[in-house]
Amino acid sequence: MPDLSQTPHRITTTMQLTIPGTSVRPQVDPFKMQLLKWIGNKQRFAHEIASYFPPDFRNYIEPFLGSGAVLSTLAPAHAIASDTFAPLMEIWTTLQTSPETLGAWYRERYEAMAAGDKVEVYERIKASYNQDPNGADLLYLCRSCYGGVVRFRKSDGYMSTPCGVHNPISPESFDMRVQEWHRRTAGTTFITADFEETMEMAQPGDIVYCDPPYTHSQAILYGAQEFDLRRLFEAIARCKDRGVYVALSIDGKKKSGDILCDLPIPDGLFEEEAFVNCGRSMLRRFQMQGESLEAEVVADRLLLTY
């Protein structure tokens, strides 16, 4: 069990934000420097999501970490962050224990690509990942794959995205990001765990931010894991019962105004609903081998238990 704080965390704020119909909430400063490319990444509007968190909370808990957009934007003093996807968590634990190793992983692959045939080297890295899924290869693949969309074959979890047309950022730029992210996550305990295990660690006064895989098309993402929303709603209800605040990003509004998923949201579980503006399509158009990840999400739906 990580050593959690008993002293309240106050969101660092430069301004106050008034949200119609609610109390005054703190505004969190934007932090838009992505470390990893990950589908569903919320870096561009993570500060808006965090502005809906209670102004005072004890520990920050993020059980569906992905590329850590909200965690890095909030930079909490005490946090637990987890994901079930082990190669991804290997990246986060290495960021914390040995940031220079993360830089070296990236540089080695970047230089190999620059010195040889780009696609051939990319395919070699992909083959190495698929033979033995690991953080070092995944880190480079997510920065260099087509559209930044790391996809996995549903049948066996094989990473299938082809090489991107863009040039990945330089090792110097990557090192700079690593340093900043290392600083921002210094108070975080990273664990590889199912969301339920992490949420059970939350204590009264903590805030849990959930960003689960939610649309049908996401079945081919995140290592092709299955996901059961009802189990999540039950875990949220248990948190709420013991005085833990929970914020849930659940689906989005399309340009048409339609809500993406028609979800059976339990009555009485949430006290407030907000739509956070994403500005433009959250998922890129990406069509290959009959699989489509297209969605014109323009607003992210946030449900709050408080």
Ligand X SMILES: C[S@@+](CC[C@H](N)C(=O)[O-])C[C@H]1O[C@@H](n2cnc3c(N)ncnc32)[C@H](O)[C@@H]1O
Q: What angle do CA 247, 147, 45 make, to 5 degrees?
A: 30
| 72 contributes a contact to ligand X by CB under 6 A | no
Structure tokens at 159: 């990473």
Cα gap 157→66, rounded to integer Å: 17
| 306 contributes a contact to ligand X by CB under 6 A | no
| 195 contributes a contact to ligand X by CB under 6 A | yes
* Residues β-bridged to residue 191: 82
Stretch that binds ligand X, among 102-110, 139-147, 211-219, 290-298 (CB under 6 A): 211-219
Residue number with CB closer to ligand X (113 or 210): 210
Stretch that binds ligand X, among 118-126, 127-135, 205-213, 281-289 (CB under 6 A): 205-213
- Minimum distance, C-beta of residue 45 to ligand X, in the bound complex (Å): 10
| 67 contributes a contact to ligand X by CB under 6 A | yes
User: Which residues are within 8 A (CB) of 295 and not within 5 positions of it... i.e. 6 or more apart?
Assistant: 215, 217, 252, 254, 260, 281, 282, 283
Stretch that binds ligand X, among 83-91, 141-149, 262-270, 283-291 (CB under 6 A): 83-91
Stretch that binds ligand X, among 7-15, 50-58, 60-68, 160-168 (CB under 6 A): 60-68
| 64 contributes a contact to ligand X by CB under 6 A | yes
Task: Provide φ and ψ at 102, rounded to 5°.
Answer: -60, -45
Residue number with CB closer to ligand X (45 or 245): 45
| 40 contributes a contact to ligand X by CB under 6 A | yes
Binding-site string for ligand X from residue 219 to residue 258, where x marks contact by CB under 6 A and - marks none: ---x--x-x-------------------------------
Residue number with CB closer to ligand X (113 or 152): 152
User: Among residues 83, 90, 137, 300, which is the contact residue for ligand X, using CB under 6 A?
Assistant: 83
Instruction: Provide the strand spans (E) within the chain.
Output: 9-10, 16-18, 24-26, 56-57, 60-62, 79-83, 188-192, 207-210, 245-254, 272-277, 287-288, 291-292, 297-304
Cα gap 2→211, rounded to integer Å: 21
Residue number with CB closer to ligand X (84 or 144): 84
User: Among residues 87, 103, 135, 213, which is the contact residue for ligand X, using CB under 6 A?
Assistant: 213
| 300 contributes a contact to ligand X by CB under 6 A | no
Structure tokens at 233: 């709603």
Instruction: Provide the strand spans (E) within 123-271.
Output: 188-192, 207-210, 245-254
Residue number with CB closer to ligand X (121 or 283): 283
- Burial label for 63, CB within 10 Å (0-12, 13-18, 19+), is buried
**Alpha-carbon dihedral 194, 198, 200, 206, rounded to 10 degrees:** -150
Cα gap 57→72, rounded to integer Å: 17
Query: Which residue ranges make up the site for ligand X (CB under 6 A)?
Result: 38, 40-42, 63-64, 66-67, 69, 83-85, 194-195, 211-213, 222, 225, 227
